[in-house]
Amino acid sequence: MLTHSPPVRPRSGRRSRVARRVAALAVIVGGIVGALLAPVVATAAPPYTTSATVSSLAFTEKAVASGTKAELTGSWSLPDDPVAPAGFVVDLPEGLRGLPDAFPLLDDDGQEAGSCVTTAAQLVCDIDGTYLQEHPVGLSGGFSFWATVTTEVTETTTVTYDFGDVTAAVDVKPDPFACSTDCDFRGRTDFKSGEYQNSSDTIAWDVAVGAGAKGMVAGQEVVVTDIIGPDQELLRESAAGERYPSLWVATGLETLPSGLVVPGPITEAPASDYTVSADGTTVTFTAREGAFYNVHYLSRVTDDGAAGSYRNAAEIRVGTETSSTVTSEVTRHGGSGTGNGTRVGRFTALKTLDGEAAATERIPAETRYVLEYAYPAGRGFPAGSGVLTLEAGSPVTSPALPVGAEVTVRERTPESVAGIAWGTPTISPERFTVGDETVAVSVQNPVSVVPPPPTPTTPPTPGTPTTPPTTPGTPTTPGTPTTPGTPGKSLASTGGEIAVTGLVAGVLLLGMGGALAAARRARRGNR
């Protein structure tokens, strides 16, 4: 851990910003080190067209001391079919200061789904536009980052930090180096500390030369030699152009906000005050009366931070005294993140009619056809289904479907059209697997003309049968025989004779009818 911030060159006469800790505790003010060594720039910037939802955020430890680092983890998600640019921002509340960092959001296959940048004030994560297009469904993931807890307490206190949409609580313990009584500076021993810079995968090492309460004795020759650890190489210059190694000096004491008294303020010594070996490992200088010295080294890790922890040592010789060796180990407090979405593909459907013109021309051009599709659940996606509405001759594209989905397609029976018979549709392919390439589905319907049924003729209405009489007819009484005339005396027949004869017959018939009627009445009366 650094006893004070790594070297910051004064600019425009301004004094360097300083924070100090003793007993191997690092205090980095506001991310100055990260800004010096490798400025962090987000790949995109909010506001976003589509903002992800941060649904949770929590500390990984139940308790953390004020002034130390804490890790936070969270989860995020995007709605389906998001529009780029897309991403999310986590603004850090008062009491938390982000540890400068940059890290990718990786999917299960190791593909980069996005990238995140942590600054002192916020975490900004951008989702990659290409990944967004190729994986527009179910985009979600997690993230972790580090922040320094700056909340000051006098006793362990549960503090809830408000991040806007979510909150996170942690027990904050008092600063272990806070001092309220007997805070006088009594000198220091040799020691070494370091701070890992995530943004550049470099380590700022600080070697503090021991001295009494009143500083060093004038004229003492001091030789500091760095002993580089595994997976590292020393740098002679930072990304910001700062020279390494370098000598820093304080000629007095200062009191930190915690009440602790330490050497300070500390400033960089002129290059003429010390010499550096050709390989950059050794710094030699002559002490001034009452001064306190620190030597800064910068190393770059050669494994991209894979080891996680890195050791370094330094040999310190003052005058003719036996030299001492101090060691330190730092840990990469880096963020990480995941992002996974479902790769999607599509299919197109084209409806055609197959039949003679006499049949196809009867079907209205605005006729709609409905195609149903469905697929079971697969790796990373649930079961799904849907419908497409088509017009004959006009292809239609499906919504995005999960790559790997086994799709089955069928057509609903079209609506009836007068004079037309729909045949069984031919769908090709009827079953297929969604892939990166669009699948072309053809739906062909046979149609034919239905002959009109013959017009039925109305059968003739049968005649009304004659009802037979219920009363039997009266038998005719034979006529009275005519008295034969005297032979030779007969006259020729005339029309008048015929009429007289008919009249006589009618009278006789009437008389007989009356007699019969009277006889029937008489019989009824005797019953």
Claim to verify: residue 270 and residue 204 sit in the same structural domain: yes
What pLDDT score does 10 carry? 35
* 276 is a domain residue: yes
**How far, in Å, CA of 485 to CA of 483, rounded?**
6
Q: Is the pLDDT of residue 220 over 70?
A: yes
Nearest-angstrom CA–CA distance, 382 and 370: 23
Q: What torsion do the CA atoms of 190, 192, 193, 197 make, to the nearest 10 degrees?
A: 140
Which of 338, 366, 383 terminates a domain? The answer is 338
* 422 domain residue, yes or no: yes
116 & 41 share domain:
yes
Q: Based on the structure, what is the number of domains in the chain? A: 2
> Could you tell me the pLDDT band of residue 246, with boundaries at 50, 70 and 90?
very high
For residue 307, how many other CB atoms are within 10 A of its CB? 16
Helix (H) / strand (E) containing 513: helix 495-526
The Cα–Cα gap between 480 and 188 comes to: 181
pLDDT above 90 (res 388): yes
In terms of Cβ atoms closer than 10 Å to its own Cβ (0-12, 13-18, 19+), residue 219 is exposed
pLDDT at residue 96 greater than cutoff 60: yes
CA distance 330 to 317: 24
Question: Same domain, yes or no, for 228 and 282?
Answer: yes
Spatial separation of the C-alpha atoms in residues 194 and 2, rounded to whole Å? 5
Phi, psi of 196 (to 5 degrees): -80, 130
Using the 3D structure, point to which of 419, 449, 479 is the last residue of a domain.
449
Q: Is 390's pLDDT higher than 50?
A: yes
pLDDT band at 493 (very low <50, low <70, confident <90, very high): very low
Pairing of the two strands 157-162 and 167-173: antiparallel
* Alpha carbon distance 339, 123 (integer Å): 16
Q: Which residues pair with 449 in a beta bridge?
A: 420
Same domain as 375, residue 334: no
Q: Kindly give the pairing relationship between strand 202-208 and strand 221-227.
A: unpaired
Same domain, 329 and 409: no
The pLDDT confidence band at residue 75, using thresholds 50, 70 and 90, is very high
pLDDT for the residue 45? 63
Stated length of the chain? 527
Domain termination site, one of 425, 449, 473: 449
Same domain for 140 and 273, yes or no, is: yes
Angstrom distance (rounded) from CA 351 to CA 322: 93
- pLDDT over 70 at 4, yes or no: no
Q: Distance between CA atoms of 342 and 112, rounded to whole angstroms?
A: 14
Within 13 Å, how many C-alpha atoms sit on residue 122's CB side? 12
- Least confident stretch, 38-42, 112-116, 210-214, 313-317: 38-42
In a domain, 13, yes or no: no
Residue 170, token pair as written in the block: 């942690």
Provide the mean pLDDT of the chain: 83
Same domain, 244 and 181: yes
pLDDT digits (tens, 9 = 90+) for 49-73: 999 999 999 999 999 999 999 999 9
pLDDT at 318 over 60: yes
Given a cut of 60, whether residue 211 has pLDDT beyond it is yes
What pLDDT does residue 471 have?
55
Edge-to-edge strand list for the sheet holding 221-227: 274-276, 282-286, 221-227, 309-318, 324-331
**Residues 216 and 358 grouped into a single domain:** no
The residue ranking higher by pLDDT, 500 or 133, is 133
* DSSP letter for each residue of 356-407: -HHHHTTS-TT--EEEEEEE--BTTB--EEEEEEEBBTB-EEPPPEETT-EE
**Predicted confidence band at 478 (pLDDT cuts at 50, 70, 90)?**
low
- CATH number for the domain harbouring residue 394: 2.60.40.1140
Looking at the structure, tell me whether residues 245 and 264 fall in a common domain. Answer: yes
Q: Which range of residues forms the domain containing residue 66?
A: 32-338
Residue-wise pLDDT for 10-29, tens only, equals 333 333 333 333 433 333 33
Residue 453 confidence class, pLDDT cut points 50, 70, 90: confident
d(CA 95, CA 68): 12
Give the DSSP letter string of 65-80: ETTSEEEEEEEEE--S
